[in-house]
Amino acid sequence: MKNRSVGALATTAALALLLTSCAQSQRETDDAGDNGDGATGTQSAGGGAEASDATFVFGAAGAPTTFDPFYASDGETFRVTRQIFQNLIGIQPGGTEAVPELATEWTSEDGLVWDFTIQEGVKFHDGTDLNAEAVCANFERWADQNEAGQSPSGAYYFGNDFGFGEDSLYKSCEATDEFTAQVTVSRVTGKFPMVLSQASYAIQSPTAMDQYKANDIKLEGEAFVFPEYATSHPTGTGPFTFESYDNAGGTVTLARNEDFWGDKAGVASLVFKIIPDEAARRQELEAGTIQGYDLPNPVDWQALKDAGNQVLIRDPFNILYLALNPVADPQLEDPLVRQALYHALNRDQFVTSQLPEGAEVATQFMPSTVTGWDDSIAAYEYDTEKAKQLLEQAGKSDLTIELWYPSEVSRPYMPDPQRVYDQVKSDWEAAGITVETVTKPWAGGYIDDTQASRAPAFFLGWTGDLNSADNFLCAFFCGDDNQFGTSAYDWHGELQDAIRAADAEADEAKREALYKELNTNIMSPEWLPGLPISHSPPALVVAANVQGMQPSPLTAEDFSTVTITE
Amino acid sequence: MTNPGPAPDLTPGVPTPSTTGATTDPTPDARRHGALGALADRKKKRIDALAEAGTISSEEGVSLWQSAWRRLRRDPVFLIGAVIVLLFVLVAILAPWLAPHDPRARDLIGQVTPATPIPEPQPGYPLGGDNAGRDMLSRLIVGSRQTLIVGVLATLGGLAGGLVLGTLAGGISGWVDTIVMRIVDVMLSIPSLLMAFSIAALFARPSQWTVILAIAIIQIPIFARLLRGSMMAQRHSDHVLAARALGVRRPAIVFRHMLPNSLGPVIVQGTLVLAVSIIDAAALSFLGLGNPDDSIPEWGQMLGKAQTFFNTYPHIAVYPALCIIVVALGFTLMGESLREALDPKSRR
Amino acid sequence: MLRFIVRRLLQALIALFVLSVLLFAWLRSLPGGVVSALLGERGTPESAAKLRAQLGLDDPIPVQYWRFLERAVQGDFGVSNGVYRGQPALDVFTQRFPATIELSFFAILIALTFAIPLGYFAARRRGGVLDTGSVVFSLVGVAVPVFFLAYVLKYLFAVRWGLLPPSGRQTVGINATHITNFYVLDALMTREWDAAWDALKHLVLPALALSSIPFAVVFRITRAAVIDVMDEDYVRTARAKGLTARTIRGRHIMRNALIPVVTIVGLQIGALLAGAVLTEKVFAFQGIGQALAIGFELRDYPVLQVLIMMAALIYIVVNLLVDIAYAVIDPRVRL
């Protein structure tokens, strides 16, 4: 039955998409009350959307950790909280640039003192007014965390971006007038205030946080227990309000915020259904019991499209790399060996055979959308002969190397780790290198060992949190015990200084230049601490009758623009 | 059917009532050992009946094996099973010569793209490739060898463990017997597949060996009980009494006289266990507890890893699944008909 | 009798204690663990060390165990670290166990409904087409991996023909009250007929796949038992007395033949639970099996401990009940 109407649906969807984009601007004024049953797809897409009492069911891969994004660091949580909350700084739909959200503008003279002008007329879901006081209450709350809250498993982002205690980047927040919050930071950094666009820094209702003890995160035995606020009373300003979370049935239900200050949500009810099994998510979509899901397997994209669904591909904002660690294997201290290992790789073949359309070969340790990416860096070309020559030159023609890959894991940048390993192994073997394989479960030793410099060559990756070169480079190379073991190289100090200097540069243009230089250095034959492999675009899929879903490279999709036609 | 033998109430392939616990009484053992014993009652009775069966046949000597063989070779069920098993073993042994391509070589990688992850059948590659561009047919053929290895090693491992425990219990008896059998009974009473999951999950690094070990461990109690039962039955038999009277030392009696005579039931149980091992290995792979490295193919792993493609390319799962089903069926048919042929009840 | 029960309970307590020690020590001596599961690629050596210290994972295992025990005797079995983060680990069990029981129950029901009549008729016409056919069928059934069968069923009935829901326990958005977490029971109790129907529809495919395990066994036992019973003197006597075929079938053959079947069904529960782990994965059914799988993936040790310990406890209790039942039924068994 479904199959017969595929063609019609696809046409309708295409038309509807066109119309929605045109109709977008009129949505505020257009208040067509009757979302008639008889209305055809194209009509209701433009008009009746706002008053629609439709339910949008979206398949999620895992359960959210908590509903207080401040204590979360995982996409499953943020997907939900992004709908309930808003930040001072938003992200341009479908992009990575900063746009005004709860703050209409932000300015600073010196990069230390920042004035945020707060949007007027905004109310939290519990009726509390949003003003500078409320914003500062959030900043104060972030900085004032107990021991459990300061844990890497508590407020991970704040701990990472700002840090707690004396050395914290955050200094103070003051409401200079009702709608101006003045935030002072302790040093100049390129990532502030852009960090505030991350889901973790959602502005939450101070009243609700007080009432339900939002800061009361506790350590109990071997785990964290979240306060009542985080489990059942998250209160934000977003287009949806929290309704319920059914643990046993695996569903999170949100309702349209009828008093939302911006464009009201296109569906009355938004349900996230947790379906851990990938194949099961797809079948639910085919059966029509869900209208979309995240991270469809690239293998299924074509079939999903053929069935009339829309596969929405996000711009890749991640990187998969092969790290080489000279602390684990001193042979790697020789740059010739590292170059040889890189030239031996046929990354083009890997990208075309294993990664979805839209994937790219990486030339440096960040995707091209990040400011600081240097387009003048050429990819190390695939040349087995050259690799052999380099090895001979290094006196390592009979090189034996341990290659690690993780099991029990699938990451957006690495859908199937074994297939990457296959490629690298066969390429290296073609260059006369003997490859010894080590595989460990992701959470069963792989992460521990690779971070403790016990693995000579291994695969790992990163999904960016925001458009910040530091977010990528520092995650890889900061510190004396980083996973690349750069402390074994004589340029280690230079690298550390360069990362710090670039981040502390207040002028944007100069900062970008510094990052470009840094990228060039890192990829130079002398440095080359590891081998960037690819950027892989994660996708999401929605049914043919779903309009208005805008894929975001940061996986920060806004579900309020979604409408459903019958 | 065409069988003129004195087995009136037997249809090919069906276990006799006595071996499947058709009676309600708990065995004396179950009464003594209480609950854990009671629940494992059925398993135990099956095993005990088998132990008994083999022993009697050995007492009556060659003639019984001969009569069993006479019955077996006319039994279509046994023949079908035996042919399947024989073919399987032959393919496994000759795999490197039969396989048209190297099962690890990514010959068709050029055709693999995310939109078409599975290369289609083509000249030289009659079954197409898998998602790493490797020849499906070669992988199935070479996979038979790995599957056989997993099955045989798991069975042998179980047998070895069972041999130690069973010989300890049956050969020495007394308090050793009590303790060993207590442990065995507890192990028997835990659902075997659940135990295999737990064991496999508890290994730090899953590999082919952890799969084999996990499956071997769950077979230990079965073999232990089998061997013990068979030895207990022989303890008072004439040849053992004679050996003892002649002053043969105890270990010698156990190893030279009692053990060889227990071989019959062990072979029967072994064939049945092999089938189960192959299926269980697939289940472990399916749960992600199998060997993560798929460069050397194994059917269970191929099936376990094929779940991603089930909707779009069901054949990727169906080929290894069919292989497993056919081979498991072959071993089961063979084992069940062997069991019958050796069962004294069926000869009354 | 009372002395026996007390003694057995004591034994059970000791067994549980030993199991908990072994389980605890084993899980914690594994490489990796919850810290790498929580932090993933975001962790650094420092943050991982900090978190490990906070969670008390740096302490010697006996110290950790003592802490666990102190809480456990107060009824606190720890907090989940992954499956239901931040919630009592016991909740995972109480919320999900009913699902697995429900699934197993329906699987047994399906198996009995088909296997007993089939076994009876096969036995009555030994060697006939039906007999040979169903015997072969049961053997093939044993040889087919449960999860493969589950996939095939799902592919055909849910994906291809769209007759039944492909996964989960309940359609999203259906108005259902949850009291016991046995969805069908809940819906019947609250008279939400559509919810009951919905929950039932979700059960059909997984239960059907799972029923392949008890089906083969029940079929073989029934068949063997009927064959046995038909040869018994009392059946022959009954026949000689001229009783109707129906009376003989109902009162003499089936009644006696069913005794071993009942015993077997009890024994199959363990195997069913193992099979449930596999079927639940295929159908994304929110039961114990799925929780175990996620628990392992996320190294959620508190949850794993609770699930495994509860399984052991239930197992011991069932055994005890079976023993007592035996003693009551069969005077020859003295406890």
In a domain, B55, yes or no: no
Give me the sign of the Cα torsion angle B242, B245, B247, B250.
positive
Nearest CA in chain C to A220: C79
Backbone angles phi, psi at A425, to 5 degrees: -60, -50
Q: Is B132 on the interface with A (CB under 8 A)?
A: yes
Spell out which residues of chain B touch residue A278, defining contact as CB-CB under 8 Å.
308
Tens of pLDDT along A98-137? Answer: 999 999 999 999 889 999 999 999 999 999 999 999 999 9
CB A317 within 8 A of CB A471: no
CA distance C215 to C141: 8
Q: Which amino acid is it at A68?
A: D
CA distance A195 to C152: 48
Residues on A contacting B at a C-beta cutoff of 8 Å? 278-279, 282-283, 297-303, 349, 352-357, 407-408, 418-419, 422, 426, 437, 439-441, 444-445
Identity of the residue in C30, C170, C301 whose CB atom sits nearest the CB atom of A222: C301
Query: How many CA atoms are closer than 13 Å to the CA of C288, on its beta-carbon side?
Result: 24
Q: Is B131 on the interface with A (CB under 8 A)?
A: yes
In a domain, B295, yes or no: yes
Reported confidence tier of residue C193, pLDDT bands at 50, 70, 90: confident
The superfamily (CATH) of domain C90-329 is MetI-like (1.10.3720.10)
Reported confidence tier of residue A254, pLDDT bands at 50, 70, 90: very high
Q: Which amino acid is it at B115?
A: A
C172:A57 CB<8 A: yes
Structure tokens at C263: 């015993």
Under DSSP, the state recorded for C75 is T
Looking at residue A399, what is its pLDDT?
Answer: 94
Q: Which amino acid is it at C216?
A: A
Comparing A342-351, A459-468, C34-43, C308-317, the range with the smallest average pLDDT is: C308-317
Average pLDDT estimate for C87-98: 89
Identity of the residue in B31, B42, B288 whose CB atom sits nearest the CB atom of C264: B42
Identity of the residue in A282, A426, A441 whose CB atom sits nearest the CB atom of B311: A282
Nearest CA in chain B to C324: B35
Neighbours of C (≥3 Cβ pairs closer than 8 A)?
A: A, B
CA distance C83 to C66: 24
Q: Is B292 on the interface with A (CB under 8 A)?
A: yes
CA distance C86 to chain B (A): 24
CA distance B128 to B133: 9
Q: Is the pLDDT of residue A83 over 90?
A: yes
Average pLDDT estimate for A84-90: 96
Domain ranges of chain C: 2-72, 90-329
B310:C155 CB<8 A: yes
Spell out which residues of chain A touch residue C297, defining contact as CB-CB under 8 Å.
408, 443
In a domain, B23, yes or no: no
C85:A251 CB<8 A: no
Structure tokens at B199: 């064991």
CB B153 within 8 A of CB B215: no
Using the structure block, give the residue that is written with the tokens 């995707």: A367
ipTM computed for the complex? 0.81
Terminal Cα-to-Cα distance of chain A (whole angstroms): 16
Average pLDDT estimate for A185-210: 93
CA distance A356 to chain B (A): 5
Reported confidence tier of residue C267, pLDDT bands at 50, 70, 90: low
How many beta carbons lie within 10 A of that of residue C155, not counting itself? 18
Identity of the residue in A299, A439, A440 whose CB atom sits nearest the CB atom of B117: A299
CA distance A274 to C46: 33
Average pLDDT estimate for C156-167: 85
CA distance C241 to chain B (A): 24
**Which strand (E) or helix (H) includes residue C97?**
helix C89-124
How many beta carbons lie within 10 A of that of residue A277, not counting itself? 20
Q: Pairing relation of β-strands A240-246 and A251-256?
A: antiparallel
B39:C30 CB<8 A: no
CA distance C102 to C10: 31
Annotate B72-100 with DSSP letters as a single string.
HTT-HHHHHHHHHHHHHHHHHHHHHHH-S
CA distance B293 to chain A (A): 7
Spell out which residues of chain B touch residue C131, defining contact as CB-CB under 8 Å.
11
Structure tokens at A197: 């666009």
Using the structure block, give the residue that is written with the tokens 């017969």: A4
In a domain, B323, yes or no: yes
Nearest CA in chain C to A446: C32
Spell out which residues of chain A touch residue B115, defining contact as CB-CB under 8 Å.
301-302, 357
Q: Which residues pair with A220 in a beta bridge?
A: A223
Annotate C121-173 with DSSP letters as a single string.
HHHHTTTSHHHHHHHHHHHHHHHS-HHHHHHHHIIIIIIIS--S--SSSS-TT
Domain count, chain B: 1
Tens of pLDDT along B120-155? Answer: 899 989 999 988 889 999 999 999 998 999 999 999
Spell out which residues of chain C touch residue A476, defining contact as CB-CB under 8 Å.
none
Mean pLDDT of chain A: 87
What is the domain extent for residue B300? 73-108+133-346
Identity of the residue in C140, C263, C320 whose CB atom sits nearest the CB atom of B24: C263
CA distance B88 to chain A (A): 29
Looking at residue A12, what is its pLDDT?
Answer: 42
Residues of chain B with pLDDT under 70: 1-47, 49-64, 171, 173, 186, 189-191, 204, 343-348
CA dihedral in degrees (C11, C17, C21, C26; nearest 10)?
70
CA distance B321 to chain C (A): 7
Highest mean pLDDT (candidates A49-63, A163-177, C28-42)? A163-177
Reported confidence tier of residue C327, pLDDT bands at 50, 70, 90: low
Q: Could you tell me which of C160, C159, C158 has the C-alpha nearest to residue C204?
A: C158
Looking at residue B189, what is its pLDDT?
Answer: 64
CA distance A448 to chain C (A): 6
Backbone angles phi, psi at A141, to 5 degrees: -65, -40
CB B235 within 8 A of CB B13: no
B11:C220 CB<8 A: no
Q: Could you tell me which of A321, A320, A419, A344 has the C-alpha nearest to residue B109?
A: A419
Under DSSP, the state recorded for B67 is H
Reported confidence tier of residue A32, pLDDT bands at 50, 70, 90: very low
Comparing A428-442, B226-240, B302-316, C103-117, the range with the smallest average pLDDT is: B226-240
Nearest CA in chain B to A353: B113
Spell out which residues of chain B touch residue C220, defining contact as CB-CB under 8 Å.
14-15, 20
Tens of pLDDT along A312-323? Answer: 999 999 999 999
CA distance C123 to chain B (A): 10
Tens of pLDDT along A159-172? Answer: 989 999 888 999 99
CATH at B77? 1.10.3720.10
| Buried b or exposed e, range A162-198, using 16+ CB within 10 angstroms | bebeeebbbeebebeeebbbbbebeebbbbbbbbbbb
At A263 the three-state DSSP class reads coil
CB B270 within 8 A of CB B111: no
